[in-house]
Structure 1
Amino acid sequence: MARKKPKSEQESLLEQVQCIAQGLGEMFAPFTEVVVHDLRTPKHSILAIHNNLSGRSVGDPTTELGLARIADDNFPQLLANYPNRFADGRTAKSTSIGIKDATGRYVAALCLNVDVTLFRGIQGMLNQFCSVEGAPVKETLDPANADAIRERIDTFAMNLATTPHMLKIEQRRELMQELKEAGYLEVRRSMEIIAQHLGVSRATVYNDAK
């Protein structure tokens, strides 16, 4: 019987990193996106992505941070808790860990991206719950600020223990009715803002709003 070819050190490292990523993804679902990059193939570096919050896919290219590590073995191996932003405008907190082989070359990266907007919604609700001072009703709709719509969507999703991208059809329709009743659909470019934040097309948003 032919003996199996032993795995290379780099292949073994990548397998272990993917296992760690899966564990982290299950532990911190659904608020933290966990991504594994194979820096040996920068044009198709994403090997795994858990709790997809950024809309990327397996096989997508690496980031500027990944390219920096590929170009410089002395680039910092750990970058923790730095500010970031998803493509649809949501704020994020990220940590990136570079993985080196025995020669000191970067072969992989493990990245975690936390959707900060959801936790800000939780913080706001806790502040309201703990408040003991009487206060007048505060208008939350800012017609000139798309963040007001995003925060309303984040709060709606958080109350369902999920994320905007993971809302089901019936949940999206309920959300659209809530936004309509609150007057958010009157905001300029509201449908475009909502579609980007939910990760769906504008046509889907218009259909959900019917």
Structure 2
Amino acid sequence: MHGPAVVTWLLAALTAASGLYCLTRLRPAATACGPAATGWWRGREADAAEAVMGLGMAAMALFPGTAWGWPYGLLGLALLLATAAPGAPAARAHRLHHAIGALAMTYMALAMPPGTAHHHTAPGLPLLTGSLLLYFGVYALWAATRLLTPAGPVTVALAAGPAAVPLARACRLAMGIGMFAMLLAM
């Protein structure tokens, strides 16, 4: 990422913390046994995608390069194909959002190779960059409104504590802001 070093480090810390939190949500409950223990992965796909995206954003902010384009391009295509799979509309929409995020990271990695000074060139396609900025800006605003609304009933499968849902929403907001900042710094 090009810009002030302190902004890069703060963005990396924010997205790494979000990714690590999502990673901790992947562990199975220690008290679960029987069918609950074997089906712990159900509903964790979003946590896995968010962990990969958060940790990848942190690494990409600190170590920019075109090499990041390949893994996130493949992840984006896999998630895009997964949106066609049958399932709940909310899960499909979440997969589509992560596909857009992974493909946006691919775009940033390929459009901004290391050593490119943003003062001399405007890397990438302005229309695509603007569209992604609009998408992630609106997503961050939407995530902020969801953070401010009550969480509602929390099911036992999702509850890691009373703050689990608001904290997960805060991580989504942080990653939306992180994507917006990375695109803005292009």
Regarding TM over 0.5, the answer is no
Q: What is the TM-score normalised by the length of structure 1?
A: 0.29
Greater gyration radius: 1
TM-score of the aligned structures, taking structure 2 as reference length: 0.31
